[in-house]
């Protein structure tokens, strides 16, 4: 299976967002999380767009009444003024009350949408092709998706509702101006055309700025983590690395600042010219209205209403264009989020559904396996063929970079081969459900994860439904030789394996060797059919490594077991040895037969023999 179809976009043409598709998906999510909230938000948006028009119209009536009274054309009367006054008070009250509810409803909708999309993003990260995590572009894509969730998604609903509200108000004001004089509409609208163009162009440049500065910002975050992190703090101080790391952070910060200032000046230059044009247009509109008053075609109330409408029209137009600009800035980031979700969904739907064979009868059969990392020019593995029976212990040896860990990740379903197949009891591994592989296969990797959760959770990570009782856990803990340490923990199996996470500082701090035993226990606890030990002992001396591998083999009795190492000592524990060199299996046999063959394995053994004497 080729994983190239899951690549993130990496050209400018691919980066331009499909605005309609992204908006449609956003509205679908909003409706999905809260249909009532979506309807209520739409009604409030319409109401908020109409209220300013009503206030302006009531003000017109009140000004005309006052003008008539001053001109002795009407008698002062509370009864005559009351409708306009009551209307203004009611509209202002309605605006304030509805604004409060609108803020609450919008926050609630934003929170629901954000939680929904956060859950989708977390799930997506577990389903996209694992090989993509070897590419920096994938981390950039995920960072932009997180940025969309953390900063952009919460504002997106506000921008959309404000756009809807402003559109309703602008239509109302536009009708008033058109009735008075169609020329007024043209005068206030024409300056908005170049402004809209500049804002769209600025938004496009804004996304490209986000895209190109993502690696710089990611490096800044990384260097800051080294400077402030507790795990790196001791070596930063011991080796005097503060100035070096801070210098790198500062260099990247300068790059980011330079790009940011360039973007800001682009926006300033674009807005200055359009602002001048809007001021001139407003002055022309005032002149037209003044001339209509002189001609006797407008009342003072009409003049107040129309000048207010012209000024507010321009302000609302500016607000509308500003929100549209924000939408154009945010849409590409949301598009990255949706791109990631779509790729994950595609991978999930293509995942297998079959059950892992239990118990294994024939073992694993690998035929003509080939794999190449995306973007690489050479295959990491090619022409890989072998068969391993249930209960067989196989050692895979080779120099660093020979492809040992890559082969294991293919066997465990973390990577998908470009060519060839892997079968468990005749069932293609690509057809087996990922959760089935997780239940039946376990590994201790070279860079095994320290989750730092309570002991119980640390030893039993796994798919939903995986339950392991305490008696079994203690059996495994005893087997790996860490029971004495765990029996002294203040909260037993519920003790956090990190002092900073435990209550009242009662978490436990483990040594490196103890963490290795935890990783072994984690692999053994679920009683898997396939076990892998992938060089978790690189920091140990060769003899200590052999002892750990020997214990692992004893604990793994009866299971198909793979031992991975660039050291030869552990290979003697295996029933069979596969020698990898430059991505190919060059030798296959037992320790004795391979020594007798006097080939690559024999060279390795002679070169390292002094380590075990």
Q: Can you tell me whether residue 8 is helix, strand or coil?
A: coil
Cα 339 to Cα 247: distance, rounded to the nearest angstrom:
35
Is residue 340 located within the same domain as residue 396?
no
Cα 413 to Cα 519: distance, rounded to the nearest angstrom:
20
Complete edge-to-edge strand list for the sheet that includes strand 576-581:
441-444, 530-534, 560-565, 393-397, 576-581, 584-589
Provide the Cα torsion 403, 409, 410, 411; round to 10°: 110
**Are the CB atoms for 392 and 576 separated by under 8 Å?**
yes
Task: Judge whether 308 lies within some domain.
Answer: yes
- Burial classification of residue 581, based on how many CB atoms lie within 10 Å of its CB (0-12 exposed, 13-18 middle, 19 or more buried): middle
**Are the CB atoms for 88 and 51 separated by under 8 Å?**
no
Percent of the chain with pLDDT over 70: 83
Domain boundary among 350, 383, 417: 350
* Closest alpha carbon to 274 in 308, 317, 327: 317
Task: Judge whether 582 lies within some domain.
Answer: yes
pLDDT over 60 at 16, yes or no? no
Please give the residue range of the domain that contains residue 115: 20-350
For 513, residues 6+ apart whose C-beta sits below 8 A from its C-beta are none
Mean pLDDT of the region 544-558? 78
Task: Judge whether 516 lies within some domain.
Answer: yes
CA 31-118-110 angle, 5° bins: 45
Per the structure block, which two tokens stand in for 365? 């059969």
CATH number for the domain spanning 177: value is 1.20.1560.10
Number of domains in the chain: 2
Average pLDDT of the residues of the chain: 79
Res 3: pLDDT: 44
Is residue 324 located within the same domain as residue 395?
no
Is residue 61 located within the same domain as residue 150?
yes
Cα 110 to Cα 281: distance, rounded to the nearest angstrom:
38
Is residue 122 located within the same domain as residue 257?
yes
Cα 542 to Cα 610: distance, rounded to the nearest angstrom:
10
Cα 429 to Cα 115: distance, rounded to the nearest angstrom:
34
pLDDT over 80 at 360, yes or no? yes
Exposure on the CB side of residue 458, measured as CA atoms within 13 A: 28
Task: Judge whether 6 lies within some domain.
Answer: no
pLDDT over 80 at 569, yes or no? no
**Are the CB atoms for 133 and 307 separated by under 8 Å?**
no
Is residue 346 located within the same domain as residue 408?
no
Res 11: pLDDT: 41
pLDDT tens for residues 193-245? 777 677 666 666 766 767 777 778 878 888 887 777 666 665 676 567 677 78
DSSP string, 111-144: HHHHHHHHHHHHHHHTTS-GGGGGSHHHHHHHHH
Res 1: pLDDT: 44
- Residue with the bigger pLDDT between 55 and 141: it is 55
Domain boundary among 317, 350, 383: 350
Is residue 100 located within the same domain as residue 145?
yes
Is residue 331 located within the same domain as residue 396?
no
pLDDT over 80 at 424, yes or no? yes
Task: Judge whether 319 lies within some domain.
Answer: yes
**CA–CA distance from 22 to each of 125, 149, 332, 520 (Å)?**
20, 14, 9, 45
* Closest alpha carbon to 515 in 536, 532, 544: 536
Classify strands 560-565 and 393-397 as parallel, antiparallel or unpaired: parallel
pLDDT tens for residues 405-415? 899 999 988 88
pLDDT tens for residues 239-258? 676 777 888 888 888 888 88
Task: Judge whether 385 lies within some domain.
Answer: no
Is residue 322 located within the same domain as residue 368?
no
Grade residue 394 by pLDDT with cuts at 50, 70 and 90: very high
Is residue 343 located within the same domain as residue 370?
no
Identify the sign of the CA torsion 553, 362, 580, 444: negative
Long-range contacts at 574-579 (CB < 8 A, ≥ 24 apart): 574/393, 574/394, 574/395, 575/392, 575/393, 575/394, 576/388, 576/392, 576/393, 576/394, 576/395, 577/394, 577/395, 577/396, 577/397, 577/601, 578/386, 578/394, 578/395, 578/396, 578/397, 579/397, 579/398, 579/604
Cα 566 to Cα 396: distance, rounded to the nearest angstrom:
8
Grade residue 364 by pLDDT with cuts at 50, 70 and 90: very high
Residue listed under structure tokens 């009532």: 36
Cα 46 to Cα 37: distance, rounded to the nearest angstrom:
14
Is residue 202 located within the same domain as residue 273?
yes
Q: How many CB atoms lie within 10 A of CB 294?
A: 9
Per the structure block, which two tokens stand in for 459? 């030893």
Mean pLDDT is highest, among 401-405, 479-483, 544-548, 575-579, for 575-579
Grade residue 190 by pLDDT with cuts at 50, 70 and 90: confident
Provide the Cα torsion 526, 530, 536, 542; round to 10°: 120
Is residue 145 located within the same domain as residue 205?
yes
DSSP string, 384-435: EEEEE-TT-EEEEE-STTSSHHHHHHHHTTSS--SEEEEEETTEEGGGB-HH
Task: Judge whether 381 lies within some domain.
Answer: no
Task: Judge whether 465 lies within some domain.
Answer: yes
Is residue 256 located within the same domain as residue 183?
yes
Q: What is the pTM of this model?
A: 0.64
CATH number for the domain spanning 453: value is 3.40.50.300
Name 534's bridge partners.
564
């Amino acid at each position: 299976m080729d994983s190239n179809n899951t690549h993130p976009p990496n050209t400018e043409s691919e980066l331009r967002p499909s605005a309609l598709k992204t908006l449609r998906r956003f509205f679908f999510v909003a409706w999905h999380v809260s249909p009532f909230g979506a309807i209520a938000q739409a009604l409030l948006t319409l109401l908020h767009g109409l209220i300013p028009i009503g206030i302006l119209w009531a003000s017109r009536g009140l000004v005309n009444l006052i003008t008539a009274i001053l001109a002795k054309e009407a008698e002062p009367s509370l009864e005559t003024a009351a409708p306009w006054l009551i209307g203004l008070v009611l509209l202002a009250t309605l605006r304030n009350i509805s604004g409060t509810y609108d803020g609450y409803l919008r926050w609630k909708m934003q929170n629901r949408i954000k939680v929904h999309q956060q859950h989708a993003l977390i799930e997506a990260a577990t389903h996209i092709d694992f090989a993509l995590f070897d590419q920096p572009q994938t981390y950039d894509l995920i960072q932009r998706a997180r940025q969309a969730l953390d900063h952009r998604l919460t504002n997106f609903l506000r921008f959309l509702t404000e756009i809807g509200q402003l559109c309703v108000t602008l239509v109302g004001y536009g009708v008033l101006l058109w009735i008075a004089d169609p020329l007024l509409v043209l005068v206030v609208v024409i300056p908005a055309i170049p402004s809209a163009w500049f804002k769209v162009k600025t938004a496009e440049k804004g996304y490209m700025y986000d895209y190109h500065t993502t690696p710089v910002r990611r490096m800044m975050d990384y260097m800051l983590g080294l400077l402030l992190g507790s795990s790196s703090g001791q070596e930063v101080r011991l080796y005097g690395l503060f100035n070096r790391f801070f210098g790198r952070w500062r260099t990247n910060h300068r790059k980011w600042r330079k790009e940011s200032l360039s973007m800001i000046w682009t926006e300033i230059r674009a807005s200055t010219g359009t602002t001048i044009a809007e001021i001139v247009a407003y002055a022309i509109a005032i002149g037209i209205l003044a001339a209509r008053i002189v001609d006797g075609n407008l009342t003072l109330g009409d003049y107040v209403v129309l000048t207010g409408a012209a000024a507010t029209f321009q302000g609302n137009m500016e607000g509308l264009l500003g929100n549209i600009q924000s939408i154009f800035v945010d849409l590409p980031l949301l598009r990255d989020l949706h791109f990631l979700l779509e790729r994950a969904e595609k991978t999930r739907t293509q995942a297998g559904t079959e059950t892992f064979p239990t118990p294994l009868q024939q073992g694993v059969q690998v035929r003509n396996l080939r794999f190449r990392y995306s973007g690489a020019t050479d295959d990491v593995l090619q022409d890989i063929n072998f068969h391993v029976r249930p209960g067989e212990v196989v050692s895979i040896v080779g120099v660093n970079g020979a492809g040992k860990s890559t082969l294991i990740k293919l066997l465990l379903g973390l990577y998908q081969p470009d060519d060839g197949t892997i079968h468990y009891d005749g069932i293609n591994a690509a057809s087996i459900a990922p959760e089935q592989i997780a239940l039946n296969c376990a590994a201790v990797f070279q860079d095994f994860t320290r989750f730092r959760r309570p002991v119980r959770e640390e030893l039993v990570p796994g798919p939903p439904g995986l339950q392991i009782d305490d008696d079994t856990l203690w059996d495994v803990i005893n087997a790996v030789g860490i029971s004495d340490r765990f029996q002294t923990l203040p909260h037993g199996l519920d003790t956090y394996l990190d002092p900073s996470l435990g209550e009242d500082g009662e978490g436990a701090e483990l040594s490196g060797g103890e963490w290795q035993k935890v990783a072994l226990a984690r692999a053994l606890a679920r009683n898997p059919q396939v076990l892998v030990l992938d060089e978790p002992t690189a920091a140990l001396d060769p003899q200590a490594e052999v002892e750990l591998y020997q214990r692992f083999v004893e604990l793994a009795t009866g299971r198909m077991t793979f031992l991975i190492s660039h050291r030869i000592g552990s290979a003697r524990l295996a029933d069979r040895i596969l020698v990898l060199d430059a991505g190919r299996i060059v030798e296959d046999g037992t320790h004795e037969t391979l020594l007798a063959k006097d080939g690559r394995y024999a060279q390795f053994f002679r070169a390292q023999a002094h380590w075990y004497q």
